[in-house]
Structures are given as structure tokens and as C-alpha cells.
């Protein structure tokens, strides 16, 4: 069966005036993520947790340390809305691929409706490169319908 491969690229650029040590990429396969660090500070992590229906970037922080993504559903914060559990960090997918909804899938979907939703599973990190002012991570993922790859 033909598999559809999704390529996820992360490109973070900052002006050279901020560069002291630059970027680093720390692969943490046991934690199912790769951390993107700039001058010793976490900018984001490419996460591919089994509990989430797609790979995503979380958290997303500015170089000044300001977190721009919400905590829910990964790490809810006091007073934060708890709607849209499929809105996890930053991700790329589509609502309808061959009639299957990849956008809205989450742990909130009833078991009898799960067949209407797709899952994107991280396969491997193909390439990671970094320099003083740029980090790039390229990964492959397969898109699944009921645990079968979409063809």
C-alpha cells in the first residue's frame, strides 16, 4: 500500500546581532521530542508523543523567554480556557484528506467516532542542521486512517 509521507520542516531565524552561541538541536528520542535551543534557552520542541494525534511544536518561546503558545492540553495554566483540545502548539495538517479529519483529532473524540479521524505518526528525523542564526529540522511522518496508511 502506498504511504503518504508528510515532511515537517522547522526553520527558525534570528538576526545575527543576537548570536552569541547560536542554535543547538538536542534529540531526545526517549522523551519523543527534539529540543531547539538558542543561546542555552529553549525556543521550541518538535514533539511526537504517542498521546497526541500529530507531531507539533511546543512550547514556542521567544528569544526573550516569552511563551507564545497556550499550555492546554499539555500543561494547563490557571485561568486558561480548556476548549479545543486538538489545538496543541503549532502543527500542520488538514481537516479533510480523503474524507478523513486530521485537524480535529484529539483525546476528546468518542471511541465510536474515531474512525472519522486520522492520525499523523512521526517516523524519523531525517536531518537536523544548525548554525549561529538558523536551525532546521526535517522529519517524516505517515498519515493514518484506522491505523492503515493513507494511499
Question: Residue 7 has what pLDDT?
Answer: 40
Classify each residue of 54-69 as buried b or exposed e, where b means 16 or more C-beta atoms within 10 Å of its C-beta: bbbbbbbbeeeeeeeb
Give me the half-sphere count of Cα atoms (radius 13 Å) on the Cβ side of residue 107: 11
Q: Which three cell numbers stand for residue 42?
A: 529553549
pTM above 0.85, yes or no: no
- What is the mean pLDDT, run by run of 10 residues, along the chain of 151 residues? 39 45 95 97 97 96 95 94 93 91 91 93 96 94 81 65
Q: Which residues contact 54 (CB under 8 A, 6 or more apart)?
A: 88, 91, 93, 102, 105, 119, 120, 141
Report how far residue 98's alpha carbon sits from residue 74's, in angstroms, rounded to the nearest whole number.
29
Residue ranges of the domains in the chain?
Answer: 5-146
Q: Which residue has the cell 474512525?
A: 115
Amino acid at each position: 500500500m502506498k504511504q503518504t509521507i508528510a515532511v515537517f520542516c522547522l526553520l527558525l531565524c534570528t538576526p545575527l546581532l543576537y548570536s552569541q552561541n547560536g542554535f543547538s538541536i538536542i534529540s531526545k528520542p526517549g522523551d519523543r521530542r527534539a529540543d531547539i535551543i538558542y543561546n542555552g534557552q529553549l525556543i521550541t520542541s518538535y514533539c511526537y508523543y504517542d498521546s497526541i494525534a500529530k507531531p507539533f511544536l511546543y512550547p514556542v518561546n521567544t528569544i526573550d523567554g516569552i511563551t507564545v503558545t497556550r499550555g492546554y492540553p499539555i500543561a494547563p495554566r490557571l485561568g486558561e480556557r480548556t476548549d479545543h483540545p486538538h489545538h496543541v502548539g503549532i502543527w500542520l495538517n488538514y481537516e479533510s484528506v480523503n474524507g478523513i479529519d486530521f485537524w480535529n483529532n484529539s483525546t476528546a473524540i468518542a471511541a465510536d467516532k474515531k474512525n472519522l479521524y486520522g492520525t499523523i505518526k512521526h517516523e524519523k528525523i531525517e536531518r537536523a542542521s544548525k548554525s549561529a542564526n538558523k536551525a532546521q529540522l526535517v522529519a517524516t511522518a505517515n498519515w493514518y486512517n484506522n491505523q492503515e496508511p493513507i494511499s
